[in-house]
Structure 1
């Protein structure tokens, strides 16, 4: 393999990984543009190394050129596990973890010279992530609520709030935490702002949700948008 083709494959893997990573970055996911580019690039490099090693020993031993690539597929799991988060009974990050796994496959495909398959996979993954997420938002628009909660920052407070949300049969789609550094109560406890995006599958009234969350000790204010 000539040097220009090696460079082409490495750069192309970065581009394809970046296309998928761009969508994740726009949605503020844990694994964004740079992560997906690095995964694709590293996978491509390992595939190139595997092919090069095989070419050097071909006919001298029964070495398997796919062995290193197989380790990428299984080894990418540690990144996927880091992208999966559990808050209460809600698990998030599964799509991002699956995306990393697919991006690793795209990198391997480019490294092996399967440009067409890698390109088609990149396009399909981007369409799945971009279009189907819009479809989900359109179908569930009336049942998606944003809960803004101002609460005292205590040990286990987020877990208590998450448990209450689960008891109301609201499915959490994500949570953001913002610390209020300038505000504290009489006991010196810090206050935080929590923003939950939930799916209201039971069609509960916002007033009922607010009353239930206000019953939690330490919760100061609840707004439903």
Structure 2
């Protein structure tokens, strides 16, 4: 591999990682501009090392044919380790907080950036370009579509005060399921003034467009043991 080819591939890796990283940085995600660049460049370097190893093996065998069966170069082994290794980095961007999981998209984007870096290092420029455009389109365009779809449904936050009954929360969850209401987040509170007798739970739910919030409040208020239902 010529020196100019090495420089070209590293520059492309920086550009690709920068494009994806900028989008992540703009949305204030854990892995931003520099992280994505480093992942892409690192994967590219590993790919080029693998290419150099193969070239060196071919040259050695050409000079010493008797080593044909002694020398082997697996073109995919090093790259496979990169793909699996990036998984640990992606796991660090995933946050579990208050019943919800955040950072999955960022973790996935890091993994894809690493894969694109491998393609750059191998010299697959067309694949690199198409993959970068596709990935950026998914992160930017599909995010807007996803937001519009969610906006068609109603996201509301319900606060339910109820007596501490073992099966009451199960009844509420069953009601949500029967009404096709998706639970996005649950927060539990205990009223210290009443000890453990009265509990408060806040549900962040995604309701169907044709279901009125007042109907939900009316239905839940009819449950024995529920003291109050309100939208917060």
Q: Residue 133 of structure 1: which of 133, 143, 153 is its match?
A: 143
Shift of 1:204: 7.7
Task: Show the counterpart of 2:87.
Answer: 77
1:171 to 179, 184, 188: 184
TM superposition outliers: structure 1 runs of 4+ over 6 Å: none
Tell me what 1:37 maps to. Answer: 37
1:13 aligned to 2:13?
A: yes
- Which whole-Å CA distance do the structure 1 matches of 2:9 and 2:53 have between them? 17
Q: 1:25 to 1:116 in 2, by over 3 A?
A: same
**Structure 1 match to 2:206:** 200
Hey, what does 1:95 align to over in structure 2?
Answer: 105
Q: Distance in 1 between matches of 2:15 and 2:152?
A: 37
Q: What's 1:120 paired with?
A: 130
- Is the CA contact 2:54–2:75 (under 8 Å) kept in the aligned structure 1? yes
- Whole-angstrom CA distance in 2 between matches of 1:30 and 1:205: 35
Distance 1:45 1:27 in 2: 28
For residues 35 and 141 of structure 1, the distance between their equivalents in structure 2, rounded to whole angstroms, comes to 32
Q: Which has more radius of gyration? A: 2
- 1:90 deviates by 1.7
Residues 42-65 of structure 1, C-alpha deviations (whole Å, 9 max, x = no match): 000011111112211222411213
Question: In structure 2, what is the Cα distance between the partners aligned to 1:91 and 1:204?
Answer: 28
Q: Provide the alpha-carbon RMSD of the alignment.
A: 3.1
**What are structure 1's unaligned runs of at least 5 residues?**
148-165, 173-197, 209-222
Q: Which residue of 1 aligns with 2:46?
A: 46
Say if 1:143 and 1:199, in contact at 8 Å, map to a contact too: no
Map Cα deviations across residues 91-126 of structure 1 (whole Å, 9 max, x no partner): 221111111111001000000000000110000010
